[in-house]
């Protein structure tokens, strides 16, 4: 991910105030205001450059809608993405570092500094996420059972599954190949 893409993700997910940008309650920013705020902060970017970052981001981290942009998911700032509750597949996956397993099996999966726990439909994508945090492992999440028990699930614009919390009783290891 390019330096500009990382910066943009940080601003739209975590620190819009760093450049004097305000997000609406759903996390959207007007593109012209974003570009103006970036320029004032010494990070000049054209609309074409912004659109290139969005189009080439390998994780589809950003969503464009007309003259608006937002991070697809991963926020620590208080936003409501306005995503509808939907039924998840029976099983989703979560990548993490091996060193986190004791805490996870004790406390469940918690969002930490973010608004939601992130889950993947693909174990390979989950292992890639886990590698960012150390020696990786993949957990199987029994999302069908969670859904039946009343847990809410959402799917972000980039396909990442979101939920508020995963109790440890729904976690395990297992074959998914």
**So what's the architecture of 3-71 in CATH?**
Orthogonal Bundle (1.10)
Q: What is the mean pLDDT of residues 105-127?
A: 93
Coil vs helix vs strand at 173: coil
- Cβ-contact 104, 96 below 8 angstroms: yes
Q: Which fold has domain 92-172?
A: ADP-ribosylation fold (3.20.170)
Tens-digit pLDDT profile for residues 70-91: 999 999 999 999 999 999 999 9
User: And the tokens for 164?
Assistant: 């508020």
> What is the Rg, in whole angstroms, of the alpha carbon atoms belonging to the chain?
17
Instruction: Domain ranges for the chain, please list them.
Output: 3-71, 92-172
d(CA 59, CA 54) in angstroms, rounded, equals 10
DSSP assignment of 111-125: -TTSSSEEEBS-HHH
């Amino acid at each position: 991910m390019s330096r500009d893409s990382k910066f943009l993700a940080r601003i739209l997910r975590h620190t819009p105030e760093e450049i004097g940008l305000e997000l609406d309650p759903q996390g959207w920013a007007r593109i012209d205001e974003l570009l103006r705020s970036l320029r004032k902060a010494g990070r000049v970017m054209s609309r074409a450059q912004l659109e290139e970052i969005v189009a080439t981001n390998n994780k589809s981290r950003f969503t464009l809608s007309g003259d608006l942009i937002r991070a697809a998911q991963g926020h620590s700032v208080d936003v409501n993405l306005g995503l509808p509750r939907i039924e998840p597949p029976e099983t989703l996956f979560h990548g993490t570092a091996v060193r986190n397993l004791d805490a996870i099996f004790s406390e469940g999966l918690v969002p930490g500094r973010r608004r939601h726990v992130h889950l993947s439909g693909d174990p390979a994508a989950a292992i890639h996420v886990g590698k960012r945090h150390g020696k990786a492992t993949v957990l199987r999440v029994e999302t069908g059972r969670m859904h039946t028990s009343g847990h809410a699930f959402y799917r972000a614009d980039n396909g990442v599954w979101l939920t508020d919390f995963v109790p440890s009783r729904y976690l395990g290891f297992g074959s998914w190949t």
